[in-house]
Amino acid sequence: VSCERRGGMRFTLCGCSYYHQVLITNVGLDGEVVEVKVKGSKTGWIQMARNWGQNWQCSANLIGEPLSFEVTSGSGRRVTSYNVAPADWRFGQTFEGKQL
């Protein structure tokens, strides 16, 4: 079931230096989120694993890097939000993506 949203997808950052988790909200895609990737300025795209609900995690140290996210829905639609979080982001902050 499609749902409407206002504004961009939201990404809430959690974790520590060796563990990165993101809660994704305000999705509004045409189905459940089935895949998430994160990219820092010094990395390629890193596959994230579902922790629970819409919390996704990876074992990577991305502190000090601007972050981009690629979110895929169950129907295969892919939405990429580039440079969502600036290099000086902190755990606990929420950022709104501008989807392309």
Counting the structural domains of the chain, the total is 1
Phi, psi of 44 (to 5 degrees): -85, -170
Q: Give a yes or no: residue 62 inside a domain.
A: yes
HEC states along 64-90? CCCEEEEEEECCCCEEEEEEEECCCCC
Q: Give a yes or no: residue 44 inside a domain.
A: yes
Q: Give a yes or no: residue 97 inside a domain.
A: no
Nearest 10 degrees: Cα torsion 45, 100, 4, 2: -60
Q: Give a yes or no: residue 85 inside a domain.
A: yes
Q: Give a yes or no: residue 98 inside a domain.
A: no
CATH number at residue 80: 2.60.40.760
* pLDDT at residue 18, rounded to an integer: 86
Q: Give a yes or no: residue 82 inside a domain.
A: yes
Can you give the pTM of this predicted structure?
0.89
Please check whether residue 36 is in contact with residue 71, taking contact to mean a CB–CB distance below 8 angstroms: yes
**Positions in the chain short of pLDDT 70:** 1-5, 29-31, 99-100
Q: Which domain holds residue 45?
A: 10-92
Q: Give a yes or no: residue 87 inside a domain.
A: yes
* pLDDT at residue 73, rounded to an integer: 87
Segment 61-71, tens digit of pLDDT: 999 999 999 99
What gap in Å lies between CA 23 and CA 44, rounded to an integer?
21
